[in-house]
Structure 1
Amino acid sequence: MAAPQHNVEEFAMLPDNGSAFIPLLDGAAEPDARSAAPRVQRALAAMCFSDGMLMRHLHDAELGEALITPALDVVRRRPDMDLAQPFRDFAAYERQRYVSTTFEVYEVAHNATARKLSRDVDGLPAESLDGIVDAPTVWEAIKHVNADGQAVGRITIVQEPSPLILAALHLTMSPHFDMSELLGHLLSEVPNRGRTHAFMHRAYERGQSGAYQPPPLDDDDEPAAAVAPAVSAPLPSSSPFDYLRQRSFFFVFKYYTVVGEGLDPPPWQRFDKRSVNERPGHHIDIAECSSILALSLGGEPTKLLRMRSRLERAREGFLFDTFGPWHLLGIQSFPDDQHTVRGDDFQHKSFCNGPYAFLDLLVSEYRDAGKRNQILHDRITKLITPPTEFMFDPRLRDKLLFEDKHFTYIRRYFWAYNTLAVINTSIKAMVDAYVETFTDDFWAGAHPLLWPHPAPASPGGLAYRDTMALLRRELDKVVAQLGLILECNERTRKEIENLRDQLFSGSSIKESRRVIDQGDNIRILTMISMIFLPLTFVTSVFGITTFTIPPSDWRFALTMVLVCVPFMLVVFLCQTRAFTFLRRKTVAALTALVVLATRYRRRGDQGPDPVRSDNRSTVLRPLPHGRKRLVAATEGRAEGRAEGRVRRWSWRRLWDTRATAGDDVVLAKV
């Protein structure tokens, strides 16, 4: 929506109290300055909005791209809208459609205590009998700001808002925030890529920085005076509503939660749109949730900043008083029942300034995020964990080990594995937003852009640092819990990987056996068909020219044998197992024939026994001394070879009963 055009006569602004930024403390009156941190001293500007302003805003405001979906009903009713109609009567159409809305409004006084604005006290309408918090009830609580003039800060928290409540917030908070920007982040994932992000360093922010323009005046309204505080040089003159983006800071949270029983997410959030009957029994209903926590510092800029760049012109920035009047806005859209319930102890807290209140509510946001992510982790872990009965039930083990025809378990593991990855990404974004934004310089009050303390080393600055240290410990604790949930999610993903691998192994083995059985069946069918294929061929050929075949016709029988037998032999040989078996046997037979032929040839080449056929005496001639050693060595080698050959073939030569001595062999060779 575009910034509303208002008239100054329909709201009132109270003048500032004129007090100093931090009052000077007398040493005798305050011996220990660290005992109490500095507080906000200037009051909020009092404002009051009317039903006519809201009706004109609904009728004339331009809708942004992100607001088209939630405000579609409002756009359709614009032609028939009566601007003089009370807002309560106009908003009756959406009363029964949004029944989960809750809200809280607190005003913080000069003593840093929060006072809750109740619906049945302080002139606000009592809660309805059916317990539904509708848009008119929220409107009555937020249209008056600092009516008694004693508030220095205001906290507005709305949970599960309806489109009309968003429009009312857009109107009443436009003097302090760029509401089109905030609602764009809340309702869309385009500006923030669907992840948690911190928009805190905005001193040099560009974009909408124009002054707040009051709406047109009703005929029955009376003008009210507005006093604007003076601005000291050299800062430019401005109204309290200038520089909306430079004076505002906000966190946008984007993560996921389990939808509560009986609750429906708003149409602008992502969720499973299938009906209950179409969802499986183990389905986990997850929806996207989002929230905005924004702080606006009032008053005039306290410091002018300049940032020079080599490629661009120098950019101007503005710092605002850390201890100035402030507005804190929280809009939460969570379709569950996990909201933080603030009791009376919240009103007993001491909110020294707007940043302290912002960080206190930021602790609640991170705590709620941890709670929702823990519930989501438990549900997913329960989904993928096998029941303990599988140790005793073999049928349940087979069911977990082998996939069914509906792919139940692989679908479940795939969804859980990738869902945890998306959840981990959102958790990492939340942790990074905190770690990268709130550095050590910030907690010391010395950050150059984010809520710096005017004198960090002074006693008041040291007391302020000690006060913020308490919040830092709480924030570190809740962020560390998110880190533990992240580790648990990673361990669960490892378990899912193991379960998926086991399921894949079991199913693969089962499918392999089934394929082998099918192959055997196909082979049998093929063999049977090979018997009838040649028969069919022969009968078809004979049937072309011959209508009747007499029993004495030998041609048919001969042709049948000559065609079928070779064909079946070829088919038999082409089979893998049969061909391998036949080849192995053929090679073995050929090898046996070769061995027998070799033995027969060696037996024929051996000839008659040299001892029996040669009876002539041989006279050995004396040999030289050197040749004796050579002959002896040769004889030894010959004996070894002869003995080895005899041992190797002795079992084959059973018919040779005579043993040849070593000396005879040597003599024969000589």
Structure 2
Amino acid sequence: MANPPSPSGQRPRASTLGSVEERISLFSEFLPLTGSSSGSRQIEFPHDDRDDHSVDNATNAVENYPHNEIQGYLAQESWSDEQLFQHLRDTDFSPEMTVLLEEMIKRRPEIPDENDRSVAFRDFAAYEKEQYSQSTFEVYEVGHNCIPFKLSADGTGDEPSSDTSDGQLENSADSVDAHTVWETIRSVNTSNNSVGRITIVQEPTPLILTTLHLTMSQHFDMTELLTHLLSDEPNRGRTRAFMNRAYERSPSQAIPPSLPNVRQKSFFFVFKYYTVVNPPLEPASWQRFDKRPSESRLGDHIDIAECGSVLALSLGGEPRESPLWRLRRERPREGFLFNTFGPWQLLAIQSFPDNSHTVRGEEFTKANNKYVNGPHAFLDLLISEYRDATKRNLILHERITKLITPPPEFMFDPKLRDKLLFEDRHFTFIRRYFWSYNTLAVVNTGIKSMIAAYVDTFTDSFWAGNHPILWPHRYPDTPDGVAYRERMASVRAELDKVVQELTEVLKRNERTRKEIENLRDQLFSGSSIKESRRAIEQGDNIRILTMISMIFLPLTFVTSVFGMTVFTIPATDWRFALTMILVCVPFMLLITFLQTRSFGVLLRKLGAIGSAVARLFQCLRRHARDSADISDSRSVAAVAPRTNSCTWSLRMPTWPRERVEDLEKGGLGE
């Protein structure tokens, strides 16, 4: 049955995650995840060969082991409107928060002091309702039975559900204001039976962030978390994991001295990537996007905006260990390890401008969905984050692929083929290919950072429960540790699956980039050929203009000669006409013959004849030179007897030098 439409006309929130049965896999089997050729990382996600029934049995039994039970309860907390007003009035927020809270800071004179209780937070936060209308939140508390219990009110939906483009149903959820969120999160564990708490805020307003800043400061360094959410400087605009924090130092001035270990007991992932935003939705002020008005954009423009989220876990209780980290040339640094099975707080702040989120249905609070401890809940929500990132990157890939793929009509329309093959005067296609190619490169960089954050953080030692500082099990070799390890194995299989799906998106993007390269090369080849033909046509036009100018060149010469003032030429003088004919006609005939092919052949033949004559003269000159050399060498033989000339010529080279000298003097006798 469809939900009745809301009079406010707000857009429903789309679901990127249905039930477990509706989750769609991109492939049927796991593939190896291989790093770059220069790196040494090579991870292969194992197949999940375990029987589902055995996994369910381990899941049902793991919380019954004594060493797998949560030790203690969440501390009861409660805040009043006066404390919130004081926080808004006196806190020195970080620069990023100060920019976001500009409107609130301007209204600080309107904030009542601690003695004035006539103004409630509901009245003060009313100014945000006109500016923000997409905020939602979920709050759950988990008892010793490990089953989440929802504290936030269920939404009735603003609009009826409808089919989305990807085949899933679009689920709706009511938007909330800062006062509604404040009324839910201002009290913690009122029944004194909760061991864990899950707080999920989506599209938060500035005042919602300030309420979280107040209520969560006992468990997290909220200045650090919000800085990562609102800025790209600490994370370089990429997904990063901050998990091994046992030896973390606290540089933040906002942490009071009473909470010295707030960083050591908190762990978080920050997600940064990109998504497609359809009008009239707009990103938050701190997110990067194309701020040009719609009328100034091209028709094929794709609205892309930055999206981000922070998923953080805090373990309660006192530190159970203080290991020392010994460094060379430095003093040993003391660390703090908190109980993996201690009370926990889980916080998820999501800012997705496409207004699509994971919608958790009734199965989230059923008896078969149990969270053994805080790390288990953290990993379950981490799966949702990776799944949402995969789907958003898939949608972005499909939009870019549609942008660069030629329509099927090009096979039958020659005009469309020419349009795709040759660039127009607006450089439409080269701009499109350049944007798509480099956008996919940036997207792939973000995907690689997400994969690296998972692979580098959750190692085999972590899944075995014996990691030195990241959520180790105190008794990994006992039946308690074995049951816990089996439960974590099913979580690992699901995480490996979603990360492998994200890896498949990365491969798709790389293949699309190769296709864009081919299209770009084809466009460049076609445009180059077109420009070459145009250059040839321009050369022909220049030749025609040159021929026309050749007609006037001899005329100009003759008229300039006869136009001299020293000549006196009467009108009946025949010399001017005769000179013009004798100059112009041979010149024009010569130019005409030079342009014909037969004249070119004649010139080549004449050149060949000239070359032959030149070679003949060279041979004659060489023969004459050789003849002169022979006559000189035979000058001595002229005085020899004419008889027996052959013998003479044979003997002459063997005579000694004295004999030759006698012959030259004219005597042949001895």
TM-score by length of 2: 0.75
- State the distance in 2 between where 1:372 and 1:185 align: 21
Shift of 1:492: 0.9
Q: Verify: 1:467 aligned to 2:467, yes or no.
A: no
- State the distance in 2 between where 1:487 and 1:363 align: 20
> CA 1:442 to 1:86, structure 2 compared with 1: closer, same or farther past 3 Å?
same
> CA 1:527 to 1:152, structure 2 compared with 1: closer, same or farther past 3 Å?
same
- State the distance in 1 between where 2:110 and 2:151 align: 34
Shift of 1:410: 1.1
> CA 1:445 to 1:541, structure 2 compared with 1: closer, same or farther past 3 Å?
same
Which residue is equivalent to 2:11?
A: none
- State the distance in 1 between where 2:252 and 2:227 align: 17
Shift of 1:572: 7.8
Choose which of 119, 126, 131 in structure 2 pairs with 1:97.
131
- State the distance in 2 between where 1:373 and 1:211 align: 36
Which residue is equivalent to 1:522?
A: 542
Q: Which moved more, 1:358-367 or 1:376-385?
A: 376-385
Which structure 2 residue ranges, 5 or more long, are not aligned?
A: 1-59, 160-172, 619-670
- State the distance in 2 between where 1:597 and 1:204 align: 99
Which residue is equivalent to 2:178?
A: 135
Shift of 1:485: 0.7
Choose which of 62, 70, 79 in structure 2 pairs with 1:40.
70
- State the distance in 2 between where 1:553 and 1:463 align: 126
Which residue is equivalent to 1:313?
A: 331
Which residue is equivalent to 2:15?
A: none
Which residue is equivalent to 2:649?
A: none
Shift of 1:35: 7.6
Q: Which moved more, 1:556-565 or 1:40-49?
A: 556-565
Q: Is the 8 A contact 2:69 2:372 kept in 1?
A: yes
**Which residue identity does 2:543 align to in structure 1?**
R
Q: Verify: 1:268 aligned to 2:298, yes or no.
A: no
Choose which of 291, 300, 312 in structure 1 pairs with 2:309.
291
Choose which of 234, 243, 259 in structure 2 pairs with 1:191.
234
Q: Which moved more, 1:523-532 or 1:340-349?
A: 523-532
> CA 1:563 to 1:363, structure 2 compared with 1: closer, same or farther past 3 Å?
same
Q: Is the 8 A contact 1:338 1:372 kept in 2?
A: no
Q: Is the 8 A contact 1:302 1:321 kept in 2?
A: yes
- State the distance in 2 between where 1:302 and 1:66 align: 35
Shift of 1:536: 3.4
> CA 1:470 to 1:586, structure 2 compared with 1: closer, same or farther past 3 Å?
same
Shift of 1:386: 1.0
Which residue is equivalent to 1:56?
A: 86
Which residue is equivalent to 1:232?
A: none
Which residue is equivalent to 2:570?
A: 550
Which residue is equivalent to 1:497?
A: 517
Q: Is the 8 A contact 1:211 1:243 kept in 2?
A: no
Which residue is equivalent to 2:144?
A: 110
- State the distance in 2 between where 1:127 and 1:481 align: 31
Q: Verify: 1:445 aligned to 2:475, yes or no.
A: no
Choose which of 336, 347, 361 in structure 2 pairs with 1:343.
361
- State the distance in 2 between where 1:405 and 1:137 align: 55
- State the distance in 2 between where 1:350 and 1:563 align: 108
TM-score by length of 1: 0.75
- State the distance in 2 between where 1:190 and 1:267 align: 16
Shift of 1:558: 6.2
Q: 3-state DSSP class of the match of 2:275?
A: strand
Choose which of 74, 87, 93 in structure 1 pairs with 2:104.
74
Q: Is the 8 A contact 2:140 2:152 kept in 1?
A: no
Choose which of 172, 190, 194 in structure 2 pairs with 1:151.
194
Q: Is the 8 A contact 1:175 1:212 kept in 2?
A: no
- State the distance in 2 between where 1:373 and 1:206 align: 35
- State the distance in 2 between where 1:523 and 1:212 align: 82
> CA 1:44 to 1:579, structure 2 compared with 1: closer, same or farther past 3 Å?
farther
- State the distance in 2 between where 1:559 and 1:594 align: 36
Q: Is the 8 A contact 1:155 1:329 kept in 2?
A: yes
- State the distance in 1 between where 2:574 and 2:585 align: 17
Which residue is equivalent to 1:626?
A: none
Q: Is the 8 A contact 1:209 1:244 kept in 2?
A: no
- State the distance in 2 between where 1:283 and 1:491 align: 22
> CA 1:110 to 1:549, structure 2 compared with 1: closer, same or farther past 3 Å?
farther
- State the distance in 1 between where 2:426 and 2:220 align: 52
Residue deviations 1:565-596 (CA, integer Å, cap 9, x gap) = 78769978998989965641321443687899
Shift of 1:157: 0.3
Shift of 1:523: 1.1
- State the distance in 2 between where 1:524 and 1:462 align: 92
Larger radius of gyration: 1
Q: 3-state DSSP class of the match of 2:324?
A: strand
Q: Is the 8 A contact 1:199 1:250 kept in 2?
A: yes
Shift of 1:98: 1.2
Shift of 1:538: 4.5
Shift of 1:597: 11
Q: Is the 8 A contact 1:210 1:242 kept in 2?
A: no
Choose which of 261, 270, 281 in structure 1 pairs with 2:299.
281
Q: 3-state DSSP class of the match of 2:100?
A: coil
Shift of 1:266: 0.5
Identity %: 64
Which residue is equivalent to 2:391?
A: 371
Report the number of matched residues: 540
Choose which of 419, 430, 453 in structure 1 pairs with 2:450.
430
Which residue is equivalent to 1:225?
A: none
Q: 3-state DSSP class of the match of 1:243?
A: coil
- State the distance in 2 between where 1:65 and 1:481 align: 37
Which residue is equivalent to 1:356?
A: 376
**Which residue identity does 1:188 align to in structure 2?**
S
- State the distance in 2 between where 1:51 and 1:451 align: 36
Q: 3-state DSSP class of the match of 1:450?
A: coil
Shift of 1:509: 1.0
RMSD: 3.2
Q: Is the 8 A contact 2:136 2:174 kept in 1?
A: no
Which residue is equivalent to 2:170?
A: none
Q: 3-state DSSP class of the match of 2:282?
A: coil
Q: Is the 8 A contact 2:248 2:263 kept in 1?
A: yes
Q: Is the 8 A contact 2:421 2:523 kept in 1?
A: yes
Shift of 1:111: 1.3
